[in-house]
Copies of this chain bind each other. A is one copy, B any other.
Amino acid sequence: MRELLEAVADGSLSPAQAEAELRGYVVGEAGRFDAARDQRRGIPEAIFAEGKSAEQVAALAETALETTGRALLTRLSDSQYDALESHLDTAVPDATIDRWSGTVRVTAPDYEQPSLDATVGIATGGTVDGPVADEAAAVCLDAGATVDRVDDIGVAALSRTLDQLERLREADVLIVAAGREGALPTVVAGLVDTPVIGVPVSSGYGHASDGEAALDGMLQSCTVLSVVNIDAGFVAGSQATLIARAIAAARE
């Protein structure tokens, strides 16, 4: 404790870093950032941008960078992204920013990328499932897992699915994202012996659209699947990472 406070006093530790160390979380203008989540939960806190102001998003990203060396942000609008970029330009000018659709990852220059000896396979039914799969992939990459991505293999043309079967079987855990009737996770899960996590995607129109038919079908699947909410690429990626972590740990 004394040591910690002396580090703050001599400037080698920022107040936020010390607070994170002592309390686990940091209280700022934009809320409490859970800096201890990685230790406690195995997955660091991500910043969910929807419903937050651009200032709140930028402030939380800075806190994340300061206390954990990286920040992962999901569901950013274009204007939130622009505000984040210009904020970091001055606040943390040497940070690296990666962006896949609405998902963004920022790393401090001295951040040591973790590495996980396990592969997460991510498959999509169609082109429109891409951004959801991107979000899932970002979480896995953030944690250091290997990601194997196979796109547009929906069951309307079943040979597209079957052609990729061997590759799907090689992953340690599979995320399968699909919209419309969401049959792909069911078909895949009947053919591989790894855990499959289904992600319904909000595509389609008419009755049971916005991913509801896909969710319904994955919950009622006659094969073995666990499911996350519609478009919840982040949750699927995190759950896959937790499984990959457990496998990687067992491999050591």
Contacts and interface: CB of A to CB of B under 8 A. Distances in A.
Interface of A: 23-25, 27, 30-32, 34, 36-37, 39-43, 45, 50-52, 56, 75, 125-128, 151-160, 163, 172-173, 180-183, 186-187, 189-195, 197, 200, 202-209, 211-232, 235-236, 238-239, 242-243, 245-248, 250-251
Count of chain copies: 8
A75 B202 CA distance: 16
B183 A187 contact: yes
B229 A205 contact: yes
Contact of A212 (B157, B207, B226): B207
A85 B180 CA distance: 28
B203 A51 contact: yes
Contact of A220 (B40, B187, B204): B204
Contact of A222 (B155, B226, B248): B155
B212 A216 contact: yes
Counting chain B CB atoms within 10 Å of each CB, the highest count among A191, A203, A221 belongs to A221
A42 to B, nearest CB: 3
Contact of A157 (B52, B190, B235, B236): B190
A152 B246 CA distance: 27
14 contacts: A24-B157, A25-B160, A27-B152, A31-B151, A41-B190, A50-B205, A157-B190, A180-B220, A182-B220, A219-B227, A220-B229, A226-B227, A227-B227, A248-B250
A190 B224 contact: no
Contacts of A191: 40-41, 158
Contact of A156 (B30, B42, B163, B190): B190
A75 B205 CA distance: 11
Contacts of A158: 187, 190-191
Given A180-B221, A235-B224, A247-B246, A206 B230 contact: yes
A221 to B, nearest CB: 5
